[in-house]
């Protein structure tokens, strides 16, 4: 499997990187399909934008700079053109800090803090807020570029940390999220899907929720979406749990949330380990290592088939190496051996969508963090897009 996928990748890669063909105006590639193994969504291709402020640092470097949703330069022509090229590109807005983000709208919240470094905060940050004028500007860009938006909502609002390590308990307070969705709908901003929480499932990362409580919270989200968007045709989808796969947790979540609540079962993939790992570059080129994650895809496919056949699995966030990726690796050509292999594998196991962390920001951006110039993986994605047309 990996061998075949890699061979296709090499053919595609050599088309672009061998000088004679790169100079040509048009290159046509024919892929003759015989049977189909699985079916993806028409809009499989997705990339993420994250909330990280420039003070987000890992391993003595701070690779987000001004690429976070609150400070990204939305007037960049390169950024707009990079998004437009996919027509449409799915963009998932979310990440670790989304569960500490409040929306500056409505009257259920009185204080609107800025994200600040705080050692006792989740992920080392205080709470932050999204002003509605910034949301308006983001939507202007999304409209202009025809992007398809998934918005990740704060799922911890109203809950409290239990005595038991990272477990959070209590009901989700949906008031602020509801005010935000109501504002968004009233402005006519088109949202493809709302997702609830980030990496709160199974053992979580900084915080975790029990599967049955999360299922109740997502039922509540579905009710709000149905109420605010009564037209079934344009009703945003509901996605969750946006975290790492665990069989028991995912089973319970699907059983308790019940039929037709969740439209996409989103899971996150960071199968290359920590960004600081010195062997990262070797793992990326080792097909046996790359195939290990197939087990997870297979298990998830089976659980969704059995417990949530109304939904499909989605890769909601996948950056390869975690903690912002590898400084000298994740934005370079070699990363494509992991990335393009992943795209093929993901589709084979029936995932509908693949969201690459990140469109911009960290060391794994498809675009360079400061110049916005596309990195090699951007072109890998574009080749995939063009061969699908
Ligand atoms: C803490 O949570 C774990 C996992 O859910 C559970 O097994 C354990 O019994 C809990 N401990 C207490 C003191 O509640
Ligand atoms: C961005 O470009 C600069 C200059 O070429 C390079 O040093 C840096 O590593 C690149 N970073 C990313 C994340 O693309």
Q: Residues with Cβ < 8 Å from 120, sequence gap 6 or more? A: none
3-state secondary structure of 130: strand
Asked whether the beta carbons of 168 and 154 are under 8 A apart, the reply is: no
Asked whether the beta carbons of 250 and 265 are under 8 A apart, the reply is: yes
Ligand 1 binding pocket includes 19 (Cβ within 6 Å):
no
Q: Residues with Cβ < 8 Å from 25, sequence gap 6 or more? A: none
Rounded to the nearest integer, the mean pLDDT of the chain is: 93
Q: Which residue reads 């609150």 in tokens?
A: 70
Residue 386 has pLDDT above 90, yes or no: no
Smallest CA separation from ligand 1 atom 2, residue: 164
Q: Which ligand is nearest to the CA of 162?
A: 1
pLDDT at 15: 47
Cα of 321 from ligand 2 centre, angstroms: 17
Q: Mind giving me the DSSP string for 38-74?
A: ----TT-EEEEE----TT--BTTB-TTTT-STTT--T
The number of beta carbons lying within 10 Å of the beta carbon of residue 301 is 18
Residue 30 has pLDDT above 90, yes or no: no
Cα of 339 from ligand 2 centre, angstroms: 19
Asked whether the beta carbons of 69 and 150 are under 8 A apart, the reply is: no
Using 50, 70 and 90 to split pLDDT, how confident is the model at 3?
very low
Length of the chain: 389
Q: Which ligand is nearest to the CA of 61?
A: 2
pLDDT at 114: 95
Cα of 93 from ligand 2 centre, angstroms: 23
Residue among 164, 203, 207, 214 to mutate when testing ligand 1 (max atoms within 8 A of CB) = 164
Could you identify the atom of ligand 2 that is nearest to the CA of residue 370?
A: 1
Smallest CA separation from ligand 2 atom 11, residue: 368
Residue 249 has pLDDT above 50, yes or no: yes
Could you identify the atom of ligand 2 that is nearest to the CA of residue 363?
A: 13
**Domains (range + CATH), the chain:** 2-388 (3.20.20.80)
Residue 12 has pLDDT above 80, yes or no: no
Cα torsion angle, 280, 284, 286, 290, sign = positive
The mean per-residue pLDDT over the stretch 332-342 comes to: 98
pLDDT at 69: 98
Q: Look at 14-18, 77-81, 243-247, 268-272 and tell me which has the smallest mean pLDDT.
A: 14-18
Q: CA-to-CA distance for 203 and 201, rounded, in angstroms?
A: 6
pLDDT at 389: 57
Smallest CA separation from ligand 2 atom 12, residue: 368
pLDDT at 22: 53
Cα of 39 from ligand 2 centre, angstroms: 35
pLDDT above 70: percentage of residues in the chain: 94
Crossing angle between the packed helical segments 376-388 and 2-17, to the nearest 10 degrees: 100
pLDDT at 7: 40
Residue 66 has pLDDT above 60, yes or no: yes
Q: Residues with Cβ < 8 Å from 305, sequence gap 6 or more? A: none
Cα of 167 from ligand 1 centre, angstroms: 9
pLDDT at 31: 75
The mean per-residue pLDDT over the stretch 206-210 comes to: 97
Cα of 282 from ligand 2 centre, angstroms: 21
Smallest CA separation from ligand 1 atom 8, residue: 164
Alpha-carbon Rg for the chain, nearest whole angstrom, is: 20
What digits encode the pLDDT tens for the residues 284-333? 999 999 999 999 999 999 999 999 999 999 999 999 999 999 999 999 99
Q: CA-to-CA distance for 378 and 69, rounded, in angstroms?
A: 19
The mean per-residue pLDDT over the stretch 232-253 comes to: 97
pLDDT at 1: 37
Ligand 1 binding pocket includes 164 (Cβ within 6 Å):
yes
Q: Among 181, 182, 266, 261, which residue's Cα sits nearest to residue 223?
A: 261
Q: Which two tokens stand for residue 318?
A: 């996948």
pLDDT at 23: 59
Which residues are known to be catalytic? Answer: 199, 317
3-state secondary structure of 209: coil
pLDDT at 24: 62
What digits encode the pLDDT tens for the residues 90-146? 999 999 999 999 999 999 999 999 999 999 999 999 999 999 999 999 999 999 999
Cα of 41 from ligand 1 centre, angstroms: 39
Smallest CA separation from ligand 1 atom 6, residue: 164
Q: Which two tokens stand for residue 157?
A: 């609002």
Q: Mind giving me the DSSP string for 144-196?
A: HHT-EEEEEE-S-TT-EE-SSTTBEES----HHHHHHHHHHHHTT---SEEEE
Smallest CA separation from ligand 1 atom 10, residue: 164
Instruction: Tell me: cis bond preceding 88? Omega within 30 of 0 counts.
Output: yes
Ligand 2 binding pocket includes 324 (Cβ within 6 Å):
no
pLDDT at 371: 98
Residue 369 is given by DSSP the state T
Ligand 1 binding pocket includes 60 (Cβ within 6 Å):
no
Q: Which two tokens stand for residue 37?
A: 């193994």
Q: Which two tokens stand for residue 345?
A: 């594998």
Q: What is the number of alpha carbons within 13 Å of residue 193 lying toward its C-beta?
A: 28
Could you identify the atom of ligand 2 that is nearest to the CA of residue 364?
A: 13
Q: Which ligand is nearest to the CA of 203?
A: 1
Residue 16 has pLDDT above 90, yes or no: no
Could you identify the atom of ligand 1 that is nearest to the CA of residue 164?
A: 1
């Amino acid at each position: 499997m990996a061998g075949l996928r890699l061979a296709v990748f090499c053919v595609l890669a050599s088309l672009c990187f061998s000088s004679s063909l790169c100079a040509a105006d048009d290159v046509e590639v024919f892929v003759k399909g015989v049977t189909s193994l699985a079916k993806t969504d028409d809009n499989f291709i997705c990339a993420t934008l994250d909330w990280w402020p420039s003070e987000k640092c890992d391993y003595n470097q701070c690779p987000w700079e001004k690429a976070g949703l609150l400070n990204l330069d939305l007037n960049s022509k390169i950024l707009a053109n990079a998004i437009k090229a996919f027509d449409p590109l799915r963009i998932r807005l979310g990440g670790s800090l989304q569960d500490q983000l409040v929306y500056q709208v409505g009257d259920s919240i009185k204080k609107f803090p800025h994200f600040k470094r705080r050692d006792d905060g989740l992920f080392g940050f205080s709470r932050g807020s999204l002003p509605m004028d910034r949301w308006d500007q983001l939507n202007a860009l999304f409209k202009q570029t025809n992007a398809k938006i998934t918005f990740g909502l704060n799922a911890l609002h109203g809950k409290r940390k239990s005595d038991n390590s990272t477990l959070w308990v209590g009901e989700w307070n949906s008031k602020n999220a509801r005010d935000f969705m109501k504002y968004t709908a009233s402005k006519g901003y088109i949202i493809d899907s709302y997702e609830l929480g980030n990496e709160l499932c199974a053992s979580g990362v900084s915080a975790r929720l029990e599967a049955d409580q999360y299922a109740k919270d997502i039922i509540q989200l579905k009710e709000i979406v149905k109420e605010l968007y009564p037209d079934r045709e344009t009703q945003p989808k509901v996605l969750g749990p946006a975290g790492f796969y665990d069989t028991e947790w995912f089973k319970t979540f699907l059983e308790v949330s019940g039929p037709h609540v969740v439209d996409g079962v989103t899971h996150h993939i960071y199968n290359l380990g920590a960004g600081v790992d010195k062997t990262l570059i070797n793992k990326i080129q080792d097909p046996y290592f790359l195939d290990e994650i197939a087990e997870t895809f297979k298990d998830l496919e089976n659980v969704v088939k059995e417990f949530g056949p109304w939904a499909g699995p989605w890769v909601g966030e996948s950056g390869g190496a975690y903690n912002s990726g590898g400084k000298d690796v994740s934005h370079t050509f070699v990363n494509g051996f992991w990335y393009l292999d992943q795209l093929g594998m993901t589709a084979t196991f029936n995932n509908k969508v693949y969201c690459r962390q990140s469109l911009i920001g960290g060391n794994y951006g498809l675009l360079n963090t400061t110049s916005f110039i596309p990195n090699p993986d951007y072109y890998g994605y574009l080749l995939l897009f063009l061969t699908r047309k």
